[in-house]
Each structure stands twice: as C-alpha cells, then as structure tokens.
A and B are shown apart, each in its own frame.
Chain A
Amino acid sequence: MDKNFTTEKKYSGGKIAELLMNKVFLICACFSIAALLLITLFLIAGGMPAIAEIGFLNFILGTEWTPANRNPNFGILPMIMGSIYTTAGAILIGVPIGVFTAIFLAFMCPKPVYNFLKPAIQLLAGIPSVVYGFFGLMVLVPIIRNITWLLNIGGTGEAILTASILLGIMILPTIIAISESALKAAPKAYYEGALALGASHTRSVFKVVVPAAKSGIFASVILGVGRAIGETMAVVMVAGNQPEMPLRPFFLDGLFGGGRTMTSNLIMEMGYATGLHRESLIATGVVLIIFILIINLIFNFINRKKDPGKITLKNKMRYQIFTKWGFSRLFDKLKLRVNVKRAFIRTVDGLLKWTTWIFAALTLLALLFVIFHILSNGVAHLTPSLFEFVSNSQNQSMMPSIIATLAMVVITLTLAVPIGVFTSIYLVEYTKRGSKIVAVIRSATEMLAGIPSIVYGLFGFLFFFGFMGLGYSLIGGALTLTIMILPLVIRATEEALKAVPDTYREGAFALGSGKLRAVFRVVLPSATPGILAGVILATGRIVGETAALIFTAGTIARIPEALTDSVRTLAVHMWVLSGEGHFVDQAYATAVVLLVMVLLINTISALIARRIRKGN
C-alpha cells in the first residue's frame, strides 16, 4: 500500500511538471514567431511614414538618391539595381565553381584530398565578412583597377565586378555544402545503372546523378542569392558606393563601374540620417525583408518538388535516352565512324573532368589566397603590446575586444540555447507531424534565418537601443544576436532530436517514465553532440558578426564591467581599424586572430561531428 502511495504521489508531481514544461516549451516555440513579428512591425512602423510621404512608386522606382539636398530625393532604385547586379554577378561566378566543386567532392575526390578540401571549405564559410572585405579592398580592388588601366577604360577598381567576385567567393561554401549533400542523396542505383549500361564514371555523374540532384542544386543557388543580397560589410568596402544607377551591366563600363547596394546604403548612412532620410532607410530594410521573403518562397517551392527517390516516368525515360546518348544519335545520323564517335565522347568526358578538377582547385586557391594574404601581412604585426589589457589611441590592443567577444558569445548562447532547444523539443516531441503550429514556427525560423544581419542591426538599433533605452550595450548586442542565431540552434537541435531512434523513447515509456523525463533523461543526452554542433556553428556566427553589432553594442574598446557597457567585439574592432586612423597593420593582425578563432571553432565542431558519426 505504502509503496503504491508514493508512486502515485510521484506520478501526480510529475504531471504538474509535465504540464508546466509543456507550456514553457510552447512559449519558447512562439518566441521566434514573436521575434519575427516584432522585427517586421518595428521596421514597417518606422518605414511606413517615409513610404507614405514619398509615395511607394517614387520610393521604389525613383532613380535619385540625394538625401542631403535642400529638396531631397529618396529613390532607391539605384540601390535595388546595385543589389541585383552584384548578386547576379556573384551567382554567375560562384555557381559554376561551387557546383563543380561539389561534384568533385562527391564523386571525384581522392580520399586524402577530400579530408583536406572539406575542412578548407568549412573554413571558407567561417571567415568573417569584414575579413573578406578587407581582403577585397587590399587585393581584388588593385587587380581590377590594373585591368581597367590595361583596357584603358574609366574606373577605380571599386566596382560591381569586384563586389561580384568577392561575393562569388563568399557564397561558395553555401553552394558547395548544399549541392554536395544533394548529389550524395541521389539514389546510388542511378549511378550504378548508368555504369552498368557502359557509361564512364564522368558520364554517369554528369548525365544521370547531376540531373537527379537538380532541385537540391537549385536550392543551394537560392540560398546563395540570399547570402549575397544580405551581405554588407564586404560589399561596402569594394563596390564604390555611388548612389547612382549602375551602368549597363554587360558592357565593360558597367562591369568596371561602381554601384551601391541596399545593405551598404544602410550601413553608410544610418549614422547620419534624421527625419525622412532615416525613415526611408528603415523602409529600405523593409524592402530587403520582402526580397528575402520572395527568396524563401522560391526555396520552399523548389524543396517541395524535391523527390529524387521516386522512379518517375521521366526518370525512366532518362535511363532509356541514356542508352542512346544525345550526341551519339547525332553521330549515327551523320554516319560517322565509331572511333570518331568514341573520340568525341572521350573529349567531352575529359573536358568535364578537367573542368571539375580546375574549378575545385579554384575554390581551394581562393581560400589559400585569402589566408595566405592575411597571414603574410598580419603575423609579423602580432606584437605583445596588441594583447595588453588597455586599448587606447597609441596602442590599439585587441585584448578588450577578445574579452568582449567571449562575453558576447557567453551571454548570447545563455539566452539563445535554452530558447532554441526548448523550441525544438516542442516541435519534435510535443507536436504531431504535419501540425499547423509546426509549419508556422518553421517558416518563421526560416524567415529569421534569411534576414540579413544589417536588418538585425537596424532592428536592434530601433528596438533595444531606442525603444528599450539600452543604449550601446553588451546586452543590446547580445539580445540582437540571440534572435539572429536562434534559427541555427533550432535547426541543429531539431535534426539531432529527430536522429534519436524512437525505440529510445518507447523504451523509456515502457519503463514507466513520463514524457518529460523521457525527453530530459533519454532523448536529450543522446542528442547532445548534435546540439553542441549547432551551438558551435552559432558561436562562429557571433564571432564573425559586425553589421548587427555596430548599431547595438557600439565600438568602445574597453573590457566590459556591466551588461550595459558598450563593447567592441573582435570583428567590429577589425572594421574600426580598417575604417579610421592609421592602423592597417593592426587590422591585419586582428584578422589573423579572427582566423585562428574560426579555425579553433571549426576544429571543435569537426571533432564533435566525428563523435556523432562514431556514436551512430
């Protein structure tokens, strides 16, 4: 009797906890919806007066941006075109290189090369955009300028083309990672079938596997577009920034002429703007969000169509056509001799193969070039005085910034990880598949993931700095970053939770455990490495962030003593050094330290990933 009584009591206590935590999970899950609503609301409320006063069409289609004139004009078409041109250029450069590199990684890469190339590409993904911008300013701009001199055309090297090349390099990791997994996800049977029909390895890959992975590759391109359109710090340093309609994009003068993107307009003028000027900048933020919304819709549309596993009629046709390859039939008609046919096919094969190798080498080269440039110019300037605890005009020590970065990481993660993990627990453990709330929360997090960091900066400036009166502060920056990294944490945790076999849960239930207990005692522990991987990724994001912090955490290079102190993280330090004063050498040295940090973060995440793989 007595025994029964205690279990009964425990059970009811558990029930209360169960109910309570259920609510907690739900509240956390609604946080990202609330954040998204808050961002949109604040930006729309801030920007609408401008759009109302200027007129929507005048604002969107106006070609004059002269905010400082007595009769100012606020037309953002030049900036919209600037964003579109640089993004299109980045896609033209980044997509072929990225996709071929992904093909290389998935099918042609010798194991030792893979073990080197894969982490190298992850490093490319981790390099902060301010470091890319600095590299572009110091290396790409002079190269492009020399070409304009050779071609004897006008131009300063600060051009749409320069920004496109830089962005092309920056979107490579996104495109490679997603295309590679899409290629690997294509059914093995396709490839084997092609081989069995007598096609060479190269042919099988290019004619069968790549078409099968088409939608995944498209998805990677769309994500690359999102990344390119949202990029701020790197573009503002190399694009020339003329608030003028870019010239004809497919002619030399247009390629080598400058332009301004929406994001760079925000970062450059937000500090100066008042009244209508400020409102129209906020409205530019709204336009950026609309762009991201469209991109997300396209992405979802493509993803919904993705279904590589099914053997459809079309795929069957592909098999059949494959036996009579396109060119082959042409040769038959021309009645050419068989060995000519073979020679031609072999040449095409060889060309494709070589293109793959060369493009993969280009990716590696881009990375080596960036790293080599930073190291060769920075290591020599890593003097002990740069690590003193006090930073002042004479000695731009980076120690306060390193400490500030650590503080920023710790505070942001303390805020974001519980919310993110609880959200995912709610999504995975407490809802039925296909439930409406899951769909809503998921699209909210996807939107949050796509919003450019400068828009987060703008929101943080309006909400945490202004509305909540936090001023430039550590906590203001951390809160802004919390919303920013939340999607990362949620996605990683969701994946990790889903990977836990249902038998674990069933086992726990069978032993009499409640749901909450099962989640915390059984599911979470086995999902920890996956969650940790997400946290590490988020850490990398925080370390590299600049645009969102300049307007929220400020730029004071002092060791923070309170949450309300203004701080300067290392990436912001790098931006300040390259922006004012005579500290190019120190900027390089800071870039070296940033690179080392990214390398550390990547190594840790690789170690965790290895543990996960072993665990499975």
Chain B
Amino acid sequence: MKKVITIIILTFAALAFFTACFDIGEFNSERYINVVSREAGSGTRGAFIELVGMVVDGDDMTFRRATIAPGTNQVITSVANNRYAIGYITMGSLSERVRALPIDGIYPNPANVLNGSYPIYRPFYIAARRGESPLRDDFIDFILSYEGQAIVSEDYVAAITNPTPFTGGGLNGTIVIVGSTAVAPVLTLLGEAFEARNPGVVVEVHPQGTTAGINQAIDRQIDIGMSSRPLTPAELAEIEAIAIAYDGLAVIVNNENPVMGLTLEDVRRIFTAEIMHWNLIAD
C-alpha cells in the first residue's frame, strides 16, 4: 500500500512539473504561423477564400497543411490556445478569448460592414420556396420585418434597410431549418423570438452545414435552408435565396500576438503560405 501511495505521489509530482513548464517564453516572431482554416465545403471558408482572393482557376489555394477546425468554436479554441495561430470566423462569434485584427486599418464590426469599408464580408442567405406553406412564409416575413432585422443587427448588419413592422402571426406548426453552422445562431435567436410571439409554433434549427441545408430544402425535406455563401446557379434554378444579414469575416489571432493589423494582401499571403513566419509581416 505504501508503494502505491509513493508511486501516485511521484507521478503527480512529475505531472505538476510537466504542467508547470506550460508557459515557454514570450511571443517569438521567428516562429511559424499556424494557419487554421475550415473544412472544404464550409460556407465560411468558401466566402473567405473568394473575398481574400485565394481562388485561382477555381482551385482553393489555402495552405495545404493548415489545421482544419470543424466549426467556428473549434477555430476560436485553436487560436485562443495557440499564440502563433491565425484563423477566421464570423464576426457574430467574436469574444474576448481571441483578438480580431483590423484589415487595412478597419476593424470588423457592423458599422464598418454597413458603410462598406471593411473588405471581407458576405451575406447570410436562407434558401426557401415561398408560397408553399403559410407558416414558412410568415416566418420569412418575420425575419425580414423590423422586429426580425432588429435581432439580426445585434451581431450582424441587417439586410433590409427600411424594414416594416411584422403584421402576421397566429399560425401553428413546426418549421424545420437546416444549414450553415455560422448562420444557425442568428436563426436560433429569430426562431426563439418567433416562438415567443406564436405559442403554437416550434422552430427547429439544425446546424449541419450549408450544402446539406440547401439540398434538403430543394428536396422539400425541410422548410428553410441556411447558407453562408451565395447559392450556385444550379441551386438558384431550384430555389429562392433570400439575404437576411451581412456578416463580416474577422481574422483572429491569439491575445498574446503583438501584430496590430494586416493588409488584405497579407491575409492572402498568410493563408496561402507565401508568408510562413510572423516576422515576415511588414507592419
């Protein structure tokens, strides 16, 4: 029994020593940049590579050895834990865990997206057939109404400049929404507000990915698809795309990272691995 206790104590001591060496020096700008991207097919990635100019001849030029994080928060976690990492997320998910860099001196926030000075932004779409279900139409009207757009503009930019107040309501049933993980949070908020107004309504939001949502909406398996990228012509031939918000894509770095800002060209060169070390960025 004594031996067991000694061993346990010893191993714990070793472990404590191990974790004590956690903080190793200061930020060292000679180190590699750890690029964090999203999975192929993600609407956020599609919009980002398009806007930053990383698509050459239809091919995605993202650094082949970039860490692939399967969701917005995995990007945040990767960057928050690694002082040499850089990633991109929707500005609606920014928090104090990471720092958003100004691009060409402009910070990503709703005001700068609204006046067009922030260069990396994209619309959020919903893909739906109107005129098939009164409840679905009612919910779409709500999203585009004054009340709905007020919810949208808390974290994003409203897509409708002069929305009118919502006049519908009073229906019952379930609305099933599937699609982009980036759009899901705002539609969840919209759904909750809609449910609060209409006690007989249930809004289900499934964050399963943009393409899944659009396809299922086209196949009439669900009511509304959420998309964080523009729909392709083939998709548009089948279904209507409605812009509900504008979202800025924030380039994020670790809180310990001393870099104060990047140009759009820097961002492109970092994410395509033309620049691989932090000290090669010209401030």
**Interface status of A241 (Cβ within 8 A of chain B):** yes
**Interface status of B133 (Cβ within 8 A of chain A):** no
**Interface status of A69 (Cβ within 8 A of chain B):** yes
Question: How many residues on chain A are close to B (CB under 8 Å)?
Answer: 66
* Assembly CA distance A579 to B59 (angstroms): 28
**Interface status of A554 (Cβ within 8 A of chain B):** yes
B 16-28 binary contact with A (CB < 8 Å = 1; else 0): 0011011011000
A580 close to B207 (CB less than 8 A) = yes
A358 close to B67 (CB less than 8 A) = no
B 57-69 binary contact with A (CB < 8 Å = 1; else 0): 1111000111111
Cβ of B208: which chain A residues have Cβ within 8 Å of it? 271, 551, 554-555
Cβ of B59: which chain A residues have Cβ within 8 Å of it? 66, 69-71
The answer to whether A272 and B65 touch (CB under 8 A), given A69-B58, A267-B70, is no
CB distance from B36 to the nearest CB of A (A): 8
Which residues of A in the span 84-121 have a Cβ within 8 Å of any Cβ on B? 110, 112-113
CB distance from A130 to the nearest CB of B (A): 13
Cβ of B66: which chain A residues have Cβ within 8 Å of it? 242
**Interface status of A141 (Cβ within 8 A of chain B):** yes
* Among candidates B1, B18, B78, residue contacting A113 with C-beta atoms closer than 8 Å: B1
CB distance from A79 to the nearest CB of B (A): 12
**Interface status of B7 (Cβ within 8 A of chain A):** yes
* Assembly CA distance A272 to B209 (angstroms): 5
**Interface status of A249 (Cβ within 8 A of chain B):** no
* Assembly CA distance A137 to B71 (angstroms): 14
CB distance from B13 to the nearest CB of A (A): 11
Which residues of B in the span 242-280 have a Cβ within 8 Å of any Cβ on A? none
* Among candidates A67, A243, A362, A558, residue contacting B11 with C-beta atoms closer than 8 Å: A362
**Interface status of B210 (Cβ within 8 A of chain A):** yes
Cβ of A137: which chain B residues have Cβ within 8 Å of it? 77
CB distance from A144 to the nearest CB of B (A): 11
**Interface status of B85 (Cβ within 8 A of chain A):** yes
The answer to whether A579 and B192 touch (CB under 8 A), given A361-B11, A472-B206, is no
* Among candidates A145, A237, A241, residue contacting B82 with C-beta atoms closer than 8 Å: A145
* Assembly CA distance A471 to B208 (angstroms): 13
B7 close to A240 (CB less than 8 A) = no
Closest to A156 in B: B34
**Interface status of B202 (Cβ within 8 A of chain A):** yes
Which residues of A in the span 458-481 have a Cβ within 8 Å of any Cβ on B? 469, 471-472
- Residue of B4, B18, B36, B78 ringed by the most chain A CB atoms within 10 A: B4
B64 close to A242 (CB less than 8 A) = yes
* Assembly CA distance A269 to B69 (angstroms): 12
* Assembly CA distance A277 to B209 (angstroms): 14
* Assembly CA distance A263 to B64 (angstroms): 20
CB distance from B270 to the nearest CB of A (A): 15
**Interface status of A578 (Cβ within 8 A of chain B):** yes
Cβ of B81: which chain A residues have Cβ within 8 Å of it? 141-142, 145, 157
B 217-246 binary contact with A (CB < 8 Å = 1; else 0): 000011000000000000000000000000
* Among all A-B residue pairs, the 8 with the closest Cβ atoms: A70-B58, A271-B209, A272-B41, A241-B68, A68-B40, A579-B71, A271-B208, A361-B7
Binding site for A on B (CB under 8 A): 1, 3-4, 7-8, 11-12, 15, 18-19, 21-22, 24-25, 31-32, 34, 36, 39-42, 45-46, 57-60, 64-74, 76-78, 81-82, 84-85, 93, 95, 97, 176, 181, 184-185, 188-189, 192, 202, 204-212, 215, 221-222
